[in-house]
Amino acid sequence: MVISADAEACDGDRNATPDYLNALAAELDQLKKMEPKLNSTNPEILAAVGLNELTTLNEELDMVVAYYETKNECLRESLRREKRWLEERKGVLSAVTDQVETVRLQKQTEKSKLLDMKRKIKKMKDYQATLVATLSDLLEEHFPPPAPEPGKKTAGRKKTTSDDPELDLLPLSQVLELLTNKTLDTPHDPYVTTDDRFWPPYVEMLLRYGIATRHSEDHTKIRLESLD
């Protein structure tokens, strides 16, 4: 009975182990069935034979121990590799989780900023509407549109905007609103073209007090004066 102490590979050892154990079991059964025969009754010879058998058995047991130590070392190495792989995967999972959390927080921050900006814009629009309404009332009170001249009315003529052009003149509040909207909507081209609806005294007053300015090449165009 010979056992190889050098294990070539863990996978090969796994396949050889059942066969080896089966062989040992079969040999044990045979030994149980065999009747011991003494070749000699000399105590010294019997002691030598027993010592030889024990030595052989000890060598075989040493080979079995060496085999399982090799196999255990293979298993320990495999376990170490699995642990390293698990640690690496944990590190990757942690990094991905942190990245996802960072992106989520960034989205929440951007959403909060957007909502805050929308609230501020609405507040500014409401404030602007209040200012425009107040300014309109103020201008209506202190700078009313020109009244039609009684001498221009003739008997039998209908009071329509086409019959009396002065009724189509823009109030000062609308003139300022047009100039403001033009500046905000198209800052690259803030000029408004004046026509018959713009009452000349209004235009001259805006120019005189530096509220508006004329186009350098087209005197029919005006814009709000820059506040820089």
Per-residue pLDDT of 82-136, as tens digits, reads 999 999 999 999 999 999 999 988 888 888 888 989 999 999 888 878 887 887 7
Give the residue, 42 or 16, on which the prediction is more confident.
42
Specify the pLDDT at position 46.
Answer: 78
| ∠ CA 180-183-189, rounded to 5° | 145
Specify the pLDDT at position 148.
Answer: 64
Q: Which residues contact 6 (CB under 8 A, 6 or more apart)?
A: 70
- What are the strands, taking DSSP E only, across the chain? 192-193, 212-214, 221-224
Give the residue, 190 or 31, on which the prediction is more confident.
190
Contact predicate 224/179, CB 8 Å? yes
Ranges of each domain in the chain: 12-20+43-112, 167-228
Give the residue, 134 or 9, on which the prediction is more confident.
134
CA distance 128 to 145: 23
- Give me the mean pLDDT over the 185-196 stretch: 93
pLDDT at 10 over 80: no
CA distance 201 to 218: 19
Q: How far is CA 4 from the centre of its chain?
A: 61
Give the side-chain half-sphere CA count within 13 A for 27.
Answer: 8
